[in-house]
Amino acid sequence: MRYFTGSSDLPTRVPAPAAATAQPLPTTDQKAFSLERLVNMTPEELAGVDIAETNLLCATGLKGADGLDVGRCLLRLDEYAQWVRHYTEQSLWDFLRRPHDFKNSEARFRVLLLISVLQKEYGVHYNEQGERTCDFSNSKNPFIHGMIDDANGGTCASMPVMYVAVGRRLGYPMKLVLAKTHVFARWDNPKTGEQFNVEGTNARFDAHPDSYYRNWPYPISDEEVQQGWYLKSLTPSEELAVFLQNRAHCLIDSGRFSEARAAFVHSFRLAPHNPLGRVQIASVTRPRGLGRAVSTQYSIPGRAFVDEFSAPAVNPDPLADIEKINAMTRANLGWVVPDETRPHRVQPSEPAIAP
């Protein structure tokens, strides 16, 4: 934050900094407790589950999530939110002095402080090592536990989730949004009509319009937008669908193809309007010797739905598609915000199938 010196256009009386918050924020209760229970919840039930719990449960059992304590992580996020609120209340005078520096939007000011506190006080950062050697078998890259008391850092798949999780604890109307092969956050307040996108994967806060994401990182057609998957605020069911896609890619990288296919099936059931949902399922065929295509780890409602995707694939080399798709997706966990001060990352020749 800049320190603004006196000026003739400043108000004659600057409010004093607010006192520390007397009452702490309420703790976040766990609702699902297990991945099996989570994937079988109704949309109404999912709406009551904290986005951080949803994200962390999708990481359970993966490499890099050994000993993952979901409850402890939720408590730490509660602590992050408490400090963000305290710091924001202490700093509101800065917004009141120069609101035009924040487009006359207190919401933008609050999001700026949220990102700043998480990055500077709690070490939330982009994993630049992961940009070069991203390994989906390390779940710390696409899931938020890699940023909770962990030096691993995050990616475009996890950093927006962290901001939304903490923001919602503060009562902020924050959502996740998808571009093609990219995830970002959004302030979306239907009561006031204020809406702006939040790109916080680097050391600054950018608020690109939707038109920016229509062409970056890959073009999105009008038809694709109308399908209701890209550039819209996601529902809790759709958020879970995205996290299950990330889980599937981690499983693929670890050679657990049967479980990966099950995760893709669940994801498509939750978001059948995902234009690449069927492609994702078909990409994870049943290699010889790996048993059932759909893992019995989860109970999937609607047996007819499962049977629809149980036919053997025609591809004579089932591992070829897996390696191709996984390589493209891995490449897309690179730096996601153009910056003139750093060289642009070479983009893959075609988009990956998961954001």
Residue 238 has pLDDT above 80, yes or no: yes
**What pLDDT was estimated at residue 285?**
64
pLDDT digits (tens, 9 = 90+) for 22-34: 589 999 999 999 9
Lowest model confidence (mean pLDDT) among 33-42, 195-204, 287-296, 313-322: 287-296
Looking at residue 85, what is its pLDDT?
97
pLDDT for 243 equals: 98
Mean pLDDT on 113-124: 95
Instruction: Provide the pLDDT confidence category of residue 136 given band limits of 50, 70 and 90.
Output: confident
Q: What is the pLDDT of residues 321-352, one digit of tens each?
A: 445 545 555 554 433 333 333 333 333 333 33
pLDDT band at 247, cuts 50/70/90?
very high
| 3 state DSSP class of 202 | coil
What is the reported pLDDT for 118? 96
User: What's the confidence (pLDDT) of residue 205?
Assistant: 85
CA 1/CA 112 separation, integer angstroms? 9
* 37: nearest Cα among 25, 49, 27: 49
The domains of the chain are located at: 50-226, 236-331
pLDDT class of 196 with cuts at 50, 70, 90: very high
CA 175, CA 168: separation in Å to the nearest integer? 9
Burial of 128 (0-12, 13-18, 19+ CB in 10 A): exposed
> Measured between alpha carbons, how far is 186 from 196 in angstroms, rounded to an integer?
6
pLDDT score, position 170: 98
Neighbouring residues of 15: CB distance < 8 A, sequence distance ≥ 6: 92, 93, 96
Give the pLDDT confidence of 45-63 residue by residue, as tens digits: 999 999 999 999 999 999 9
Give the pLDDT mean for 255-264.
95
Q: Show the tokens assigned to 30.
A: 């766990």
Instruction: Give the pLDDT mean for 113-119.
Output: 95
Residue with tokens 């079988």: 40
**CA gap 103, 98 in Å, rounded:** 9
How confident is residue 203, by pLDDT bands cut at 50, 70 and 90? confident
